[in-house]
Amino acid sequence: MTDRYASFANSGPGRALVTRLGLPRPPRLRRYREGTPPLPGPVLRGGDGRLADAVAAVLAEAKIDVVDGPREGLGALVYDATGLTDVVDLRRLYDFFHPAARSLAPGGRVVVLGTPPGAAGTPAGAAAQQALEGFVRSVGKEFGRGTTAQLVQVAPGVGEGIAATLRFLLSGRSAYVSGQVVTVTADAPPPADWDRPLAGRIAVVTGAARGIGAAVAEVLARDGAHVVALDVPGAGDALAGVANAVAGTALQLDLTAPDAPARLADYLGARHGRVDVLVHNAGITRDKTLARMSEEAWDAVLAVNLTAPERVTAGLRAAHLIPAGGRIVGVASMAGIAGNRGQTNYAASKAGVIGWVRALAPALAADGVTVNAVAPGFIETEMTARMPTLLREAGRRMNSLAQGGLPVDVAETVAWLASPGSAGVTGNVVRVCGQSLLGA
């Protein structure tokens, strides 16, 4: 659905009017397009922590220019804060960012690399590292013009494991991801081909017939995966269209059926022998206030959104179809973090996905399998297009980027988490919400 306000606000007459009235002006976001440079300008690096060599290697391999001082048109600011071991060291953030704060080109990126506070070694070190979270989230709300800001907490001893995450956060693929804290706990070898990191891999995407699921299927296929697009039989025609468009296969299956996990395991075992990427995207809403909600509406939402991912994953694991290097990504929601009026069932199910991911990640780490979640905010889909106008406009504007995201924004985040280079990223919940002003 077209965001008419954003289009008007970026027109000549509209730009002048919204500025005069003090209204939000949604920036034009810099999204990934094949053949375009990863950044709109060079990177300015700072900090004297333990990741200097690793950051330099990533930027060199990605062919990103680096400059040694502030200048107009910077593409990104990257600061290695792992060397901050005391609260007095926080002054270094001001010294680096203050002169460069107005130098970023539109769509610029800010990435701060830190240490998990629990691994800082001292209370003062933990305080300094925790302070980075408040700093980064504030920068994401201040810099404007489509700038995003992220904190990457890198465990001691990790170096090359940051490559996939740093590339993603600096690129147009992360256009609607801002104010996030990502933890990298292990090293990972880079993919053989950064343009097709999923080549040769089998990916299953549930709820793939439309919206976010269709976008995920498209992006995973672009990155080289063979996609098994799965949805309910009632969506068969749309599902076939998605599968054909990505040169994948379509599988009609109701995941709430008692035998669904076994049927899916049999299908994947016979056709492919494994599943390398499992994306639990299927989800439904049955919105009513709790006092007016039927038990059928409660049960249906929990069954599709939460119980099905649990059962399907357990079934595929029992059949030994998720190999080492496997990736599991659950689609949660900002509703599961902040709650929503009229969505007690939906919010409970999506919060449950977050809890499930966080508990499952350490359990599967020994098998070399990662488990993460994405939590979309307001995304422009058929569902949000049906919202009342005032609620839809509030959803679009109540974030640091002052606009709704697109299904591809969620899909790009899923693809990053699915990459072989993201082996050290597990147990994370990444919001794709333009840094929503609601929730954590």
- pTM for this model (two decimals): 0.97
Q: How far apart are the C-alpha atoms of 300 and 293, rounded to whole Å?
A: 12
The whole-number average pLDDT for the span 368-378 is 97
Query: Dihedral angle at the C-alpha atoms of 40, 43, 44, 47, nearest 10 degrees?
Result: 140
Active site residues: 346
Per-residue pLDDT band at 12 (split at 50, 70, 90): confident
The full DSSP string for 324-386 is TT-EEEEE--THHHH--TT-HHHHHHHHHHHHHHHHHHHHHHTTT-EEEEEEE-SB-SHHHHT
The whole-number average pLDDT for the span 257-266 is 98
Give residue 99's pLDDT: 97
Residue 440 has pLDDT above 60, yes or no: no
What domains sit in the chain, N to C, each tagged with a CATH number?
25-184 (3.40.50.720), 202-432 (3.40.50.720)
Give residue 18's pLDDT: 84
Residue 91 has pLDDT above 80, yes or no: yes
Instruction: Quote the DSSP letter at residue 305.
Output: I
Evaluated on CA atoms 18, 2, 211, 167, the torsion sign reads negative
Give per-residue pLDDT as tens, 99-151.
Answer: 999 999 999 999 999 999 999 999 999 999 999 999 999 999 999 999 999 99
Interhelix angle for 344-365 vs 295-302, to 10°?
A: 30
Do the Cβ atoms of 249 and 243 come closer than 8 Å? Answer: yes
